[in-house]
Structure 1
Amino acid sequence: MRSNLLRVGLAMCLGFILAIVALGNIQLIQREKLINHPRNRYFLDLAREAQRGGIFDRQGETLAFSVKSGEIYARQYPLGIQAAHLLGYFSETRGSAGAENWFQADLLGQTGILRAWNLFQSLAGKSQVGYDLQLTVDARLQKTGYQLLKGRKGALVVLDPRTGEILALISSPGFDPGKIETDWDVYSTSDDLPLFNRALQGAYPPGSIFKLLTYAAAVEANPVIIGRRFHCPGFLKIEGRRLNCIASHGDISLKEGLALSCNVVFAQLAMELGESRLRDQAEAVGINKRIPADFPVKTSSFGPEGEMSANILAETGIGQGELSITPLQAALLAAAVANDGVLMKPYLLKAKALPGKEFTDLSRPQAWGRVMESRTAYYLKEAMVEAVQSGTAGRSRIAGIEVAGKTGSAENPQGRAHAWFVGFAPAQKPRVAVAVILENTGSGGTYAAPVAREMMQLTLSLVGEGE
């Protein structure tokens, strides 16, 4: 009898302990994730009645604020469509998205000292308040960047390669976050997918911008390859198939091969390197990995593991095949080269403040890891500068500033090539890195490079203001 009671007692104790662990997991570990879930009914109700914190850019310009309408608070977005995917929206019926969702716990005052304060406010029957947040972005870059895309499907990411700060995050076409309730059916059924955040969730074949990684893998494996000469007759025969180049380049160096975006050089390098080295270099920059940002990003993909044929290796080496990357991932690639081979963790939240108080800086730049040796990054910078000065990236040139860049024209089954550009400036002391993609537009050198040029030039002019 006693042994049975002991078993029952032990089972009850174990069940109690498991319940405590489960509740602790929900309350402590998963709390913020559950708060930020766009369909969390409790927080949807709280957000309607609470004075949600304001959102500001790095200069203090207002990006989002609350206005009381009767018994509830309505959200206003001064930049409208120009910052739609960055800020997202808050809606009673549609939930939340973008920064309104990513930082919802702070905006609703459910973190830090405001959490306790708001509990007392609630018990007293008074309105709850949230933290004001300052993001790393610059509203002027957001406005200009969206205008430069001219409604075309695509994305634009601008960041500081030294810190990982996101300076602009743009997806096109956009939507008016102030009309998310009334125009939801229009937005959600449009073939242009205006609600889709292409900058963070779009997965595209990288095309020739991937040659930066093929180059890096080759130099990391064998540094003396810098002095090697290659011969490009305008095509390469691989297992009975002809892989064409954009031109017959003749005898060229590795540096010239990148500047001229020679398919023959990089297909040949990929076959020599093999899948393992290519995959390792891609994963070093974050492909196949979760990006450690304070916002969600789709994981870029190198493709399924398994022995690659010579043809698939060649395709991969020039950025085709089964590769897919996000525009943010492309910007991180450029930033890693700019920062001497060290990749910084990207982030958006710069500071937060109690209502009516001064902002407290939260930015703590952190290195994610070393992508390549500084020597390799140096060689890549030189080749990217050559691409701008005398290669495919000429339309990204800025008078008086040395720019490093790489274009890409990624083939896809849905029509014309996607136009890519990644780069940074000034080349020797980079302050800005950028990635541009324009869907189904054509040549990256023709269409994406000029957009990047304007964004880099504007960013550097704003840096001159003392940022």
Structure 2
Amino acid sequence: MKRSASSYIKLSLASALVLVSCCLCSWRLMKIQVVESETYSQTKTSTQTYSQTIQATRGEIVDSSGKPIIENKVGYSLIIEPDTFPEDNTEGNQVLLSLTKILDENQVTYTTSLPISETQPYAFTEDEDAVAKLKKTLNMNVYATAENCMDQIQKEYEIDDSYTPEQQRLLAGIRYEMQLRGFSLSNRFTLAEDVPLDTVTEIKERGVTLPGVDIVEEAIRSVAQGDVVPHEIGTVGPIYAEEYEELKSKGYDLDDVVGKSGIEKAMEDTLCGSDGIKEIKVENGQVVSSEITTPMEAGSTVQLTVNSDFQRELQGILSDFIKNFDSLRDEKTKDLKTVQCGAIVVLDAKNGGVLGMVTNPTYDLSDYKTNYEEILNEENKPLFNRATYGLYRPGSTFKTITAVAGLNEGIVNGGTTYYCGHVYHFKDHNYNCTGSHGDISITRALQVSCNIYFYKLSEELTIDRISDYATRFGLGQKTGLETGDAAGHLSNQETFKELGADWTVGQVLQSAIGQGEWAVTPLQMANVACTIANDGTRYVPHLVDSIWDYNHNTCLEKVQPEVAEQITPLNDSVFQLVENGMIAASRNNFPSKYSLSDFGFDVAIKTGTPQNSSRVQDSFFIGYAPANDPEIAFAGVIEGGEYSKYMIRSIIQAYQKTVKNENVTVDTIAATTTTTDSAQNSTQTTTTVTTAN
């Protein structure tokens, strides 16, 4: 077939077009493979870098001999991951119910802090701070009831009537805790710690039905000795949302734990350590490198001044005295009510370190998480530390301060006497004494606790100088203890005005013998005794002895004693005369089983029986031993009781046994009938009087 010229032209053009296209494709392919190969290689590879926080191990807390009080152990924690936990409330609620069912069946504890009763009708718990936080978190007004708060939580998380009342309360508690801890895409939620391995296995096996639930292995805070100064050790807890703004600038993450109270809080910067950072490089979904760019630094170990064995002995002494107080009853004490509460503080007289500090009733820190509500609502409030926050009138123990003031101001000396005829007439009122002592000097006045001597001395001192010396001895102010304590208040015109009471001249007399409106703690009064023992040097009481590396191998810092006040004596006899009176008081016809006269050294003490409107009276003592070279200073109080001084012998023996490792038996109050000669003891305790205003 003969082709036309136009056909050849078209064929030629088509061939040329194909040839040009092939050349262009070849050129483009060469450019991609050779010229731009590196660029395209980089484009093809997807690279991401992640930073992972390595949580620092918290430092431990040990006693004066290095025995752990709070330690760490490796355990499993149950967490809820925000990125995989159901956003739908109904689905999320079902996961929580399924999860808590497993925990309950395996008796694994988990804590929530919703301050509302477990059953209907709903009511707030006694924790007022927690209730205030609840209302603030839920944006409720101050008048909102427990029912109002529950309704708000149930509405927000769709916890409707399809759930049983028990399930509603359970879900509300967990949901509120998640809200408090800032559960969000950037912060996971820890529901339970130290989960047993069999429970971990069960949860992992059911992982498909529990979206968002995971198990992580981490260091768990563990209580080794929960009965050793539990009020002072304190607790750790999660960082709540309102705390995070302040803490994030210090490097904390929302899922960290932080000290909430006690030493855990006071020494937070020392205990917390420094988190590490691990950088993980991922290319096309595969981890290609993992490198720790910032090493984790474990927290330091805090060593306390407290001896744990001595602490237990002290707790036993106090508990036994209270439990067996009825065996001490006599005509003088037969009408007193049941004794239940008290406190003892023992300081190292050389530097103010706390060797032991007990309160009754008390609790075990191991039970705090699991039985918090029960402990909180227990009779006589075991969570209240009477040693540092209990406020009492000091009674005649205060006469030691009045005596120092009179001697140091040159108003009296060792030979100065006042006449005591049992009744003292002042400004149209009569004031009684414990006896009729005749002409009496200051040392004898301290021994027999003569009210009239100190009434007369107070007239010359005036309330201003009495208040001044009380302040110099540390009353009316916080002691400076790391974990905090109550300041109390003085008994003077300013205090009476604040209390809305009338000040009369007769109150000067009452204040001089420890009545009036004094409010002191046992810790403050132990420090008064310590100050007398040191001839006017008042130390700041402290609980921390030293800071060590995490493994407790190297001491990083030794805490040095801090002098809070120096009362410079007018002459050498000022504190010696007061000590002589206190030594004499230790020999005041004690029953032989409680005697302080057979130690081989002198003991200096002063007792008091201050009036208390709600309990009729308390029983107070202060002192130190050995008197010639003091090693310990102490104070104790029994609420609504008498004869607290009978514990002093046991306190000294316990110190000898546990701190000095001497072969000594500790004698305590036994549950046997003891006959006490009230006439013999009349000079040991103060019969306080009521003044007319």
Give the TM-score normalised by structure 1. Answer: 0.80
Q: Which residue of 1 aligns with 2:24?
A: none
1:387 lines up with 2:533 in the alignment: no
Q: Provide the rounded CA distance (Å) in 2 between the counterparts of 1:246 and 1:224.
A: 22
3-state secondary structure, aligned to 1:376: helix
Q: Provide the rounded CA distance (Å) in 1 between the counterparts of 2:427 and 2:68.
A: 59
Structure 2: 5+ residue runs without aligned partners? 1-52, 77-215, 241-258, 280-291, 323-339, 497-502, 663-693
Per-residue CA distance 1:394-414 (angstroms, 9 max, x = gap): 946151121000001111111
Residues 408 and 432 from structure 1, CA distance in 2 versus in 1: closer, same or farther, beyond 3 angstroms?
same
> Aligned letter for 2:265?
N
Q: Provide the rounded CA distance (Å) in 1 between the counterparts of 2:293 and 2:376.
A: 41
Q: Which residue of 2 aligns with 1:10?
A: none
Give the stretch that moved more between structures: 414-423 or 235-244: 235-244
Is the 1:199–1:328 Cα contact (8 Å) retained in structure 2?
yes
The structural deviation recorded for 1:364 is 1.0
Q: Provide the rounded CA distance (Å) in 2 between the counterparts of 1:462 and 1:179.
A: 26
Residues 412 and 396 from structure 1, CA distance in 2 versus in 1: closer, same or farther, beyond 3 angstroms?
farther
1:88 lines up with 2:284 in the alignment: no
Residues 180 and 304 from structure 1, CA distance in 2 versus in 1: closer, same or farther, beyond 3 angstroms?
same
Residue 628 of structure 2: which of 420, 428, 434 is its match?
A: 428
> Aligned letter for 1:227?
G
Q: Provide the rounded CA distance (Å) in 2 between the counterparts of 1:65 and 1:333.
A: 34
Residue 369 of structure 1: which of 534, 552, 565 is its match?
A: 565
3-state secondary structure, aligned to 1:242: strand
The structural deviation recorded for 1:354 is 2.0
Q: Which residue of 2 aligns with 1:209?
A: 397
1:415 lines up with 2:421 in the alignment: no
Give the stretch that moved more between structures: 395-404 or 200-209: 395-404
Per-residue CA distance 1:395-442 (angstroms, 9 max, x = gap): 461511210000011111111421111101110111111111111112
3-state secondary structure, aligned to 1:225: coil
> Aligned letter for 1:189?
N
> Aligned letter for 2:226?
G
Q: Which residue of 1 aligns with 2:596?
A: 397
Q: Which has the higher helix share?
A: 1
Q: Percent identity?
A: 27
Query: Following superposition of structure 1 onto structure 2, how do residues 126-137 of structure 1 map, counting pairs within 5 Å?
Result: 129-137=298-306
Residue 310 of structure 1: which of 493, 497, 505 is its match?
A: 505
Query: Following superposition of structure 1 onto structure 2, how do residues 280-359 of structure 1 map, counting pairs within 5 Å?
Result: 280-306=468-494, 309-356=504-551, 357-359=553-555
Q: Which residue of 1 aligns with 2:678?
A: none
3-state secondary structure, aligned to 2:651: helix
Q: Provide the rounded CA distance (Å) in 2 between the counterparts of 1:192 and 1:73.
A: 35
How many residue pairs match? The answer is 409
Q: Provide the rounded CA distance (Å) in 2 between the counterparts of 1:391 and 1:282.
A: 30
Cα RMSD (Å): 2.8
1:107 lines up with 2:271 in the alignment: yes
The structural deviation recorded for 1:312 is 0.5
Per-residue CA distance 1:192-232 (angstroms, 9 max, x = gap): 11111111111111111100111111111226432122222
Residues 391 and 299 from structure 1, CA distance in 2 versus in 1: closer, same or farther, beyond 3 angstroms?
farther
3-state secondary structure, aligned to 2:314: helix
Residue 647 of structure 2: which of 437, 446, 451 is its match?
A: 451
Q: Which residue of 2 aligns with 1:246?
A: 434
Q: Provide the rounded CA distance (Å) in 2 between the counterparts of 1:171 and 1:121.
A: 46
Q: Which residue of 2 aligns with 1:145?
A: 314
Q: Provide the rounded CA distance (Å) in 1 between the counterparts of 2:659 and 2:377.
A: 40
Residues 398 and 389 from structure 1, CA distance in 2 versus in 1: closer, same or farther, beyond 3 angstroms?
closer
> Aligned letter for 2:554?
E
The structural deviation recorded for 1:140 is 1.4
The structural deviation recorded for 1:393 is 11
The structural deviation recorded for 1:64 is 1.2
3-state secondary structure, aligned to 2:471: helix
Q: Which residue of 2 aligns with 1:200?
A: 388
3-state secondary structure, aligned to 1:274: helix
Per-residue CA distance 1:88-125 (angstroms, 9 max, x = gap): 2334599732222221221112xxxxx4xx34479869
The structural deviation recorded for 1:184 is 1.5
3-state secondary structure, aligned to 1:227: coil
Residues 266 and 382 from structure 1, CA distance in 2 versus in 1: closer, same or farther, beyond 3 angstroms?
same
The structural deviation recorded for 1:340 is 1.5
Residues 393 and 119 from structure 1, CA distance in 2 versus in 1: closer, same or farther, beyond 3 angstroms?
farther
> Aligned letter for 1:438?
I
Per-residue CA distance 1:355-383 (angstroms, 9 max, x = gap): 22323341212322213515311111111
Q: Provide the rounded CA distance (Å) in 2 between the counterparts of 1:184 and 1:225.
A: 55
> Aligned letter for 2:619?
A
Q: Provide the rounded CA distance (Å) in 2 between the counterparts of 1:237 and 1:371.
A: 33
Q: Which residue of 2 aligns with 1:278?
A: 466
Give the stretch that moved more between structures: 185-194 or 84-93: 84-93
The structural deviation recorded for 1:160 is 1.4
Q: Provide the rounded CA distance (Å) in 1 between the counterparts of 2:509 and 2:621.
A: 21
Residues 160 and 55 from structure 1, CA distance in 2 versus in 1: closer, same or farther, beyond 3 angstroms?
same
> Aligned letter for 1:385?
I
Q: Provide the rounded CA distance (Å) in 1 between the counterparts of 2:613 and 2:385.
A: 21
Q: Which residue of 2 aligns with 1:53?
A: 59
Q: Provide the rounded CA distance (Å) in 1 between the counterparts of 2:428 and 2:589.
A: 30
> Aligned letter for 2:70?
A
Per-residue CA distance 1:7-57 (angstroms, 9 max, x = gap): xxxxxxxxxxxxxxxxxxxxxxxxxxxxxxxxxxxxxxx99x653211111
1:79 lines up with 2:253 in the alignment: no
3-state secondary structure, aligned to 2:582: helix
Residues 392 and 368 from structure 1, CA distance in 2 versus in 1: closer, same or farther, beyond 3 angstroms?
farther
Q: Which has the larger radius of gyration?
A: 2
Residues 241 and 364 from structure 1, CA distance in 2 versus in 1: closer, same or farther, beyond 3 angstroms?
same
